[in-house]
Amino acid sequence: MSTTTPPDRRGDAAPEPALVWRGCTKTFETPGGGSYDAVRDIDLVVPAGRFVSIVGPTGSGKSTILNMAAGLLEASSGEVESFGAPVRGVNRRASYMFQQDALLPWKTVLDNVALGLTFAGVDTREAHDRARVWLERVGLKAFTDRYPHQLSGGMRKRTAIAQAWIVDPDILLMDEPFSALDVQTRQIMENELLNLWSGSGKAAVFITHDLDEAIALSDEVVILGAGPGSTVVATYEIDIPRPRDLLEIRDDPAFIDLHREIWGRLKQEVERTYAAQNERESA
Amino acid sequence: MSAQGGTTRDDTALQAAGVRRRQGRGVSNLAMRGLQLLLALVVLGLWELGGRAGLIDQFFFPLPSDIFATVWTWVSSGYVFPHLWVTMQESVLAFVIGAALGLFLGFLLARVRFLDRLFDPFLQMFNALPRVVLAPIFLLWFGLGIWSKVAFGVTLVFFIVFFNTLEGVKGVDRVLVDNARMLGAKESHLLRHVFVPSALTWIFSSLHISVGFAITGAVVGEYLGASAGVGYAIAQAQGVFDTRGVFAGMFILMVVVLVVDVLVNRLERYLLRWRPAR
């Protein structure tokens, strides 16, 4: 196992779920001195090795839920557990892919990918060797010495994938990682992500507002209600067999049926969000 | 596939930018240089003719030919070099000490909120003080030698570097910090891989100003009281109503600062090579 594996790692046979949210509420203070709940009483379980997407209308606190699992945000009440241990500070079992560019602009692609190993104290040569292997895997072998601004959006996302995967995390947290890409690049990236993930045994939590994307990638889709104070309103099992070809899956009858069913539920929440928005604006 | 798509897009963008630049420029680089030379010659020529015809008072505005002759005398006799050497020493020391203090305090205050709040009003007060008024007191404290000028230059350089460091560290993109923390960065890692490089971009962008201020500090300090330095040489010339000497000193300083600026540009381009071209 890699040197990044934390010492408190349990035996492989332990059936502990990768992530459990127990009655998690997150309250934010507003600048005016008031406060509001971004999410309320979130109860959710992500078993190890499972791909779960969280979908919800704008402002439903999707990122808040993810950040609590990452340990970047602390729940105001309730608790997040990861593999049986409560999350205190940054979750060392998880990697995070952000919606925005999170590569360090002053480091080359190679140094960016090697970053997690550098932090773990791996010596530079070995870190670079392992980073090269990852860059080859994501098709960026020829771009190791470039700086992030010299890459296209899709290439930056590949670098971010390599950066997140090189530390061999047990959990992948992804916050709309491909939302800034054009539709074609996005489908290619989704396919590549799925190829990397399948058989890796890693748990994945994927935030998106795109239901197509959620169904195509996941074992389970979780629907959040309209915010603020949103909570889990429904979960759906996605039983489309794997391996899936994401470039074809949107024509699959099973996909179409699931999409119709889930969209029926999601639509209510989206409509509620817009109704609330209009009310606020006219008030 | 998307990789190729990206490269093609970039190439097109580059070509488009190239076309725009060529259209915008209109005149080629070489022709522009020629025009600039011509403009300088015309202005200097009119000045020279005006002086010789008696339209311009030669005492207050010495003839360009006389100024260049004085510059040549100062350079060929070696008179100016010891003075330049002293000024350069003072500038370098002022820059290094001022930048080091500014960096240190900038990082400290950006990371320790308590100290930032404690020191804020005092730093604002000192920054509001016109620095030139410090020169006489520094002269008394540190004497006529180089240290009074260094101290003066430090007060100028310090605040620029300090405020840029403070902003640079505070203004680091939250996502970069979160990403590094998720990848296992400890506080020392964050400092070395995230905060320092981010602050350095701000400091390098202000490098021209702070280097200029270091030289300004040295020359002004010398002018007010010294026994050597270019500022002292100018003061000496002024003392005997030698306006040619004053102008010659100004010209030499100008050339030196231009050379330093070119070097700073090179350094900046190298150190900030990861930044997208503007």
Same domain for B43 and B153? no
How far apart, in whole angstroms, are the C-alpha atoms of residue A208 and residue A186? 12
Cα B109-B112-B115 angle, rounded to 5 deg: 65
Task: Give the residue from A226, A216, A272 showing the smallest Cα distance to A246.
Answer: A216
Same domain for B33 and B94? no
CB pairs under 8 A between A and B: 92
How far apart, in whole angstroms, are the C-alpha atoms of residue A243 and residue A237? 16
Task: Look at residue B78 and tell me if it is in a domain.
Answer: yes
Task: Look at residue B201 and tell me if it is in a domain.
Answer: yes
How far apart, in whole angstroms, are the C-alpha atoms of residue A66 and residue A71? 9
How far apart, in whole angstroms, are the C-alpha atoms of residue B189 and residue A119? 7
Range of the domain at B38: 2-56
Same domain for B52 and B78? no
Going by their DSSP bridges, the two strands A203-208 and A171-175 should be labelled as parallel
Q: Nearest residue of B to residue A108 by CA position?
A: B274
Same domain for B105 and B18? no
> Is A153 in contact with B6 (Cβ distance < 8 A)?
yes
Task: Give the residue from B96, B126, B135, B151 showing the smallest Cα distance to B220.
Answer: B135
Task: Look at residue B117 and tell me if it is in a domain.
Answer: yes
CA atoms within 13 A on the CB side of A271: 6
Task: Look at residue B162 and tell me if it is in a domain.
Answer: yes
Task: Give the residue from B215, B107, B200, B235 showing the smallest Cα distance to B156.
Answer: B215
How far apart, in whole angstroms, are the C-alpha atoms of residue B195 and residue B172? 7
- Contact B46/A191 with Cβ under 8 angstroms? no
* pLDDT number for residue A197: 93
Backbone angles phi, psi at A280, to 5 degrees: -60, -40
Sequential DSSP letters for A231-270: -EEEEEE--PPSS--TTTGGG-HHHHHHHHHHHHHHHHHH
- Contact A261/A236 with Cβ under 8 angstroms? yes
* pLDDT number for residue B27: 79
For position B84, which CATH number holds? 1.10.3720.10
Same domain for B106 and B209? yes
Question: Which positions ≥6 away from A141 have C-beta within 8 Å?
Answer: A132, A135
Task: Look at residue B42 and tell me if it is in a domain.
Answer: yes
Task: Look at residue B67 and tell me if it is in a domain.
Answer: no
Task: Look at residue B148 and tell me if it is in a domain.
Answer: yes
* pLDDT number for residue B25: 56
Assign B46 to helix, strand or coil.
Answer: helix
Same domain for B36 and B119? no
Task: Give the residue from A143, A182, A139 showing the smallest Cα distance to A161.
Answer: A139
Same domain for B247 and B138? yes
Task: Look at residue B66 and tell me if it is in a domain.
Answer: no
* pLDDT number for residue A175: 94
How far apart, in whole angstroms, are the C-alpha atoms of residue A98 and residue A173? 9
Tell me if chain A has a CB within 8 Å of the CB of B178: yes
Task: Give the residue from A161, A213, A157 showing the smallest Cα distance to A187.
Answer: A213
What are the tens digits of pLDDT across the range A142-158? Answer: 999 999 999 999 999 99
- Contact A188/B1 with Cβ under 8 angstroms? yes
Same domain for B210 and B155? yes
Sorted by where each starts, the structural domains of chain A and their CATH numbers stand as 19-93+170-282 (3.40.50.300), 101-168 (no CATH)
pLDDT per position in chain B (278 positions), as tens? Answer: 333 333 444 444 444 444 455 555 577 889 999 999 999 999 999 999 999 998 988 888 999 999 999 999 999 999 999 999 999 999 999 999 999 999 899 888 988 889 989 998 998 898 888 888 888 899 899 988 899 999 999 999 999 899 888 888 888 888 999 999 999 999 899 989 998 888 888 777 778 888 888 998 999 899 888 889 999 999 999 999 999 999 999 999 999 989 998 998 888 888 888 887 65
Q: Nearest residue of A to residue B177 by CA position?
A: A102
Tell me if chain A has a CB within 8 Å of the CB of B182: yes
How far apart, in whole angstroms, are the C-alpha atoms of residue A181 and residue B105? 41
Task: Give the residue from B258, B166, B157 showing the smallest Cα distance to B214.
Answer: B157
> Is A101 in contact with B184 (Cβ distance < 8 A)?
no
pLDDT per position in chain A (283 positions), as tens? Answer: 444 444 444 445 557 899 999 999 999 988 888 888 889 999 999 999 999 999 988 888 899 999 999 999 999 999 999 999 999 989 999 999 999 889 999 999 999 999 999 999 999 999 999 999 999 989 999 999 999 999 999 999 999 999 999 999 999 999 999 988 898 889 889 998 999 999 899 999 999 989 999 999 999 999 998 878 889 999 999 999 988 888 888 899 999 999 999 999 999 998 988 888 888 877 6
Same domain for B205 and B233? yes
Q: Tally the domains of chain B.
A: 2
Q: Nearest residue of A to residue B192 by CA position?
A: A119
Same domain for B91 and B28? no
Same domain for B171 and B255? yes
Same domain for B156 and B88? yes
| Percent of residues, chain A, with pLDDT higher than 90 | 65
**Residue numbers in A near B11 (CB within 8 A):** none
